[in-house]
Structure 1
Amino acid sequence: MTLQELAQNWISYAVGIVLGRFKPGVPGALGRGGFSEEIAEKLRELSVPHGIAVLDEGHPYDLAARVFETLTIIYGEDQASEIVHQATAKQGDPVATVRKYLSGPFFREHIKLYRKRPVYWLLQSPKKRYGLYLFHEKLTSDTLYRIRGEEYVAAKIRLLETKIDEMRKLKDVSEGREKRRLEKQISEFEDVLEDVREFAKKIDAILKQSYTPHIDDGVLINMAPLWELIPLWQAEPRKCWKALKDGKYDWSHMAMDYWPERVKEKCKINKSYAIAHGLVDELLENPKSKNNFI
């Protein structure tokens, strides 16, 4: 293993701690490590609620800041900075470097490592100006509502709107170079705002269909309805979504959620499907389907 690979593994471990996959110091837990209780407790305190962390500077659940803090607790600030440098081959502010790494390269490496069944999911706005990581095992039917709400997307939209309004007021009383600087900043912030609003619209469209994850369906099927929220890796989830629509995975709970009538019809003639969806007793009692089913 190269130094770069080792450093990347430490960043991945830190991501797992923050997202709640690893529980340092907890007997029998995954990723418990060999830390002192004092250090283990500090590391556990960095875990975010609900397995959601955002790539957004200044946010209380900023994944990059918490990843670097994790490394600092384990190794000290200087060594943590060196780990970031070795992992990314980049110099500069380590937290900003980690944030950029998590916004793309880390997720691509993670997808390869887990053979296209990622444990951590990177949801991003269409132009990738805003993004969040999820630990898929903590997904619930409330997760997207939480992301869309006041902790994340809605708060970001409101913050951007306020900032743009403030800069416009300053621009109105400015002249020359300062006015041109503010005009450029306003344009940049408006681009980000438009991107985040589009992200919100895509989430709203998914919420209207009452998205509910089902861990037993597997990673890719659970990702499939969210394919538009994963611009960095859309091809596989989108392909799976098409297969779901075409009836290829009607054994899955996700298929039952979206196309219940079609799936129930298949259950009448496919006992394994009926078992998967808990419809065996119901179908046996139905004389119209009993002969085909048995």
Structure 2
Amino acid sequence: MAALIADKYEAWKAEANARFDQLKANEEELNRIFAEIYDMVGEVPIEVEDKYVSVARIFDTAEEIPESFKGNKYVRTRRDEVVSLISYAVGCMLGRYSLDKDGLILANQGDTVAEYLAQVPSPTFMPDEDNVLPITDEEYFEDDIVGNFVRWAAAAYGEETLEENLRFVADALGGKGTPREVIRQYFVKEFFADHCQTYKKRPIYWLFDSGKKNGFRALVYMHRYQPDLLARIRTDYVHEQQERYRAQIGRLEELAADADRAQKVRMEKQLKKLREQLAETTQFEEKVHHLADQMIAIDLDDGVKVNYAKFQDVLAKVK
């Protein structure tokens, strides 16, 4: 049955805020009881300041947060909740979570889709087969992360409400363009930073990143890592992306030859970006090739920091 993310959000906000109010009331009642027991009524504060209540309180926007809540690390906004939803969706895309079963699904070293299907035989939403989710400026790949998110939203909330749900997500994130464009920009520019913050600079979803020109990026799930992963990223994704850049550059160069001045200026700008992205992916491919040939193994028991450092030349920096 189709559902609206907006309705789910409002229901969760009401539940969370009622819990906040109840906890605050409970703490104040305890303060009154102890003040009476120790004959200190009027000498000790009874009221509990909002900033000291240690459960979530949700506001639609940061501008709505009263001064009394400043300093409360549990305060959240609609954007925070949508970011959490996106994180859960990525977990479903990579097999960590499932729409059909609570808790962790793939959480052991080297887990594959086969292990996922053993736990969830008929999934509502199927995780990515090869554990690689490309994040690019445009939808170049069939398993593109934005395309995957759209399919996840349709599976989770229904096809009938898909466009309205994408608008709600995009409005919460903020930005210009269509809902899909806003969501893409979030994945390109902000998702990994938010993920690192959530996991205290110990990301479990690793971002392969060619550099500032965004020539190529892709998320992988650490727990599903296999020694041949980099070889697959190189041949199935980076090489394909390079070929697309070359083809786009070739077409634009042909069109620019017969274009008028205004068109030529626009095309030259596009060409500059594509050439920079191609150059960046060429350097990136060499680094990936070097590491891929080593067939590096990891051990989850070593922790994220140790394992991430093995691929630091091709992974995004954790800030």
Both proteins in one fold, TM over 0.5: yes
CA distance in 2, matches of 1:181, 1:81: 30
CA distance in 1, matches of 2:104, 2:255: 53
Mapped contact 1:24–1:41 kept (Cα < 8 A): no
Mapped contact 2:176–2:182 kept (Cα < 8 A): yes
Q: Specify the SS of the correspondent of 1:227.
A: coil
TM-score, normalised relative to structure 1: 0.69
Alignment counterpart, residue 289 of structure 2, candidates 192, 204, 214? 204
Alignment counterpart, residue 118 of structure 1, candidates 203, 211, 217? 203
Deviations 1:127-157 (A, max 9, x none): 25121000111100010000000x2100000
Deviation at 1:125, TM superposition (A): 0.7
The within-5 A match list for 1:56-75 is 56=136, 57-75=139-157
Alignment counterpart, residue 9 of structure 1, candidates 47, 72, 84? 84
Query: CA 1:25/1:108 → structure 2, altered by over 3 Å: closer, same or farther?
Result: same
Q: Specify the SS of the correspondent of 2:133.
A: strand
Deviation at 1:204, TM superposition (A): 1.8
- One-letter identity of the residue aligned with 1:66: N
TM-score, normalised relative to structure 2: 0.64
The within-5 A match list for 1:126-145 is 126-129=211-214, 130-145=216-231
Query: CA 1:85/1:227 → structure 2, altered by over 3 Å: closer, same or farther?
Result: same
Runs of 4+ in 1 over 3 A off after TM superposition: 26-31, 40-43
The within-5 A match list for 1:70-109 is 70-75=152-157, 76-77=161-162, 78-86=164-172, 88-109=173-194
What residue in structure 2 maps to residue 164 of structure 1? 249
RMSD: 2.4
Q: Which has the larger radius of gyration?
A: 2
Q: Specify the SS of the correspondent of 1:44.
A: coil
Q: Which runs of 5+ in 2 are unaligned?
A: 1-55, 59-77, 107-120
Mapped contact 2:206–2:221 kept (Cα < 8 A): yes
What residue in structure 2 maps to residue 49 of structure 1? 129
- One-letter identity of the residue aligned with 2:125: R
Deviation at 1:41, TM superposition (A): 5.6
Q: Specify the SS of the correspondent of 1:49.
A: coil
CA distance in 1, matches of 2:266, 2:275: 14
Deviation at 1:58, TM superposition (A): 3.2
Mapped contact 1:126–1:198 kept (Cα < 8 A): no
How many residues were matched structurally?
A: 223
Alignment counterpart, residue 147 of structure 1, candidates 233, 243, 250? 233
Mapped contact 1:7–1:84 kept (Cα < 8 A): no
Quote the sequence identity (%). 24
The within-5 A match list for 1:171-250 is 171-233=256-318
Deviation at 1:49, TM superposition (A): 1.2
CA distance in 1, matches of 2:104, 2:303: 22
What residue in structure 2 maps to residue 242 of structure 1? none
Residue 23 (str. 1) matches residue 98 (str. 2): yes
Deviation at 1:10, TM superposition (A): 0.9
Query: CA 1:128/1:217 → structure 2, altered by over 3 Å: closer, same or farther?
Result: farther
Mapped contact 2:99–2:156 kept (Cα < 8 A): no
